Amino acid sequence: MAEKFAVGVDLGGTKILAGVVNISNGQLISAAKKKTRVVEEGGELIKRIASCIAEAIEIAGVEPKKLVGIGVGAAGMVDRERGVLLAAANIGGTNDLPMADPLSAQFGLPVRLGNDVEVATLGELNYGAGRDCDNFVCMFIGTGIGSGIVNNGKIYRGGNGTAGEVGHIVVMPDGLPCGCGGYGCLETYASRTAIAKTVMYDINRGMDTVLRDKIDPAKGILRSKAIAQALDMGDASTLRAITQAAQFLGVGLATVINFYNPRRIILGGGLVEAVPQFFDLAELEARRRALRIPSRKTEIVRAELGDYAGTIGAALLCKN
Ligand SMILES: [Zn+2]
């Protein structure tokens, strides 16, 4: 079979990561990165994505006729048919932004649009921790918690396309308010944002923590690497925050295991990669909480494609 290449674009809240991918074997040929500005109007965002794509194509040096398309995985709600980014709370509040048409016109290639979690799951399914498994759930822990469900080797989207919103499983009926408008959702207790909030609470109470200077108090942003370093330094406040978040994540995992009985759960995101204790504690809690048989049989593993899962997965949208 002749080799085919596609451009994959991971469009997130903080950065755009574009790359040329050999979609015959999942190999990333080139990568280009740009920041996603927090406040940005739609036209400017498209321009940035386009320049990132152009850079990735140039670095790759692949013959233009071998490029079959461009796939974009965006952190938000998408209309796959029309190629429109419907709502993206973390990308400058962009709403109803046509994405496929302008990019397609500029590059003369078909453009497919998907959701970021969906494409990262597609990447793990084809070339990552799910390549030998056809029933699994990918859970990505970051600003929030999202998941992709793979059933019989295909992404399962649900009756109305909203399946996998694992971050909004309620773990505390009258708990903390969530961005979704509800209360006590898993992601308000177990995401990186939740950990940052717990640490902020300690700081505001005057507790001593090495994370005091590492946290952006206005936005509550804390990097995974800073968390890992604080743990290595034996920071009590960080250890407590991580333990609490991992316990809640374990409760969420147990719910997924009991209800869906996946063969495997794949955990991804910067926090899982940078903080081994977080993964270990969450797994322990999940096995303590889930029903006896699925608790023993469900494999819980780390995602394998790391930072480029979204880019590789987005390119795979062009495979068919
Ligand atoms: Zn929620």
Residues 140 and 216 grouped into a single domain: yes
pLDDT at 220: 72
CA of 249 to the centre of ligand 1 (A): 14
CA of 209 to the centre of ligand 1 (A): 29
**How confident is the model over 125-180, as pLDDT tens digits?**
999 999 999 999 999 998 889 999 999 999 998 998 889 999 999 999 999 999 88
Contact 282, 318 (CB under 8 A): no
CA of 170 to the centre of ligand 1 (A): 8
Residues 156 and 173 grouped into a single domain: yes
CA of 76 to the centre of ligand 1 (A): 15
Give the C-alpha separation, 8 to 30, whole Å. 10
CA of 147 to the centre of ligand 1 (A): 14
CA of 178 to the centre of ligand 1 (A): 5
Task: Supply the DSSP string of the chain, one letter for each residue.
Answer: ----EEEEEEE-SSEEEEEEEETTTTEE---EEEE--SS--HHHHHHHHHHHHHHHHHHHT--GGGEEEEEEEESSEEETTTTEEEEETTTTTEEEEE-HHHHHHHHTS-EEEEEHHHHHHHHHHHHSTTTT-SSEEEEEESSSEEEEEEETTEEE--SSS-TT-GGG-BSSTT--B-TTS-BSBTHHHHSHHHHHHHHHHHHHTT---GGGGTSBTTTTB--HHHHHHHHHTT-HHHHHHHHHHHHHHHHHHHHHHHHH--SEEEEESHHHHH-HHHHHHHHHHHHHHS-HHHHHH-EEEE-SSGGGHHHHHHHHTT--
CA of 32 to the centre of ligand 1 (A): 33
Task: Please give the structure tokens belonging to residue 194.
Answer: 């939740």
Q: Is residue 306 predicted with pLDDT exceeding 90? A: no
One-letter amino acid identity for 214?
Answer: K
CA of 252 to the centre of ligand 1 (A): 13
CA of 183 to the centre of ligand 1 (A): 7
Look up the CATH number of the domain holding residue 196.
3.30.420.40
CA of 309 to the centre of ligand 1 (A): 25
Measured in whole angstroms, how far is the alpha carbon of residue 219 from the centre of its chain? Answer: 19
pLDDT at 40: 61
This prediction has a pTM of: 0.90
| Ligand 1 ion local residues (Cβ < 5 A) | 168, 178, 180, 182, 185
CA of 269 to the centre of ligand 1 (A): 19
CA of 300 to the centre of ligand 1 (A): 24
CA of 190 to the centre of ligand 1 (A): 12
CA of 165 to the centre of ligand 1 (A): 9
Residues 141 and 202 grouped into a single domain: yes
**How confident is the model over 195-205, as pLDDT tens digits?**
999 999 999 99
**Parent domain of 80:** 5-123+308-316
How many C-beta atoms surround the C-beta of residue 211 within 10 A? 23
Residues 163 and 269 grouped into a single domain: yes
The DSSP bridge partners found for residue 87 are 77, 95
Residues 149 and 75 grouped into a single domain: no
Q: Is residue 39 predicted with pLDDT exceeding 60? A: no
CA of 181 to the centre of ligand 1 (A): 6
Number of domains within the chain: 2
Q: What angle do CA 72, 73, 78 make, to 5 degrees?
A: 95
Residues 161 and 267 grouped into a single domain: yes
Residues 157 and 273 grouped into a single domain: yes
Residues 162 and 279 grouped into a single domain: yes
**How confident is the model over 211-248, as pLDDT tens digits?**
988 887 777 788 899 999 999 999 999 999 999 999 99
CA of 179 to the centre of ligand 1 (A): 6
Residues 161 and 278 grouped into a single domain: yes
Residues 34 and 137 grouped into a single domain: no
Residues 210 and 249 grouped into a single domain: yes
CA of 188 to the centre of ligand 1 (A): 7
Residues 169 and 294 grouped into a single domain: yes
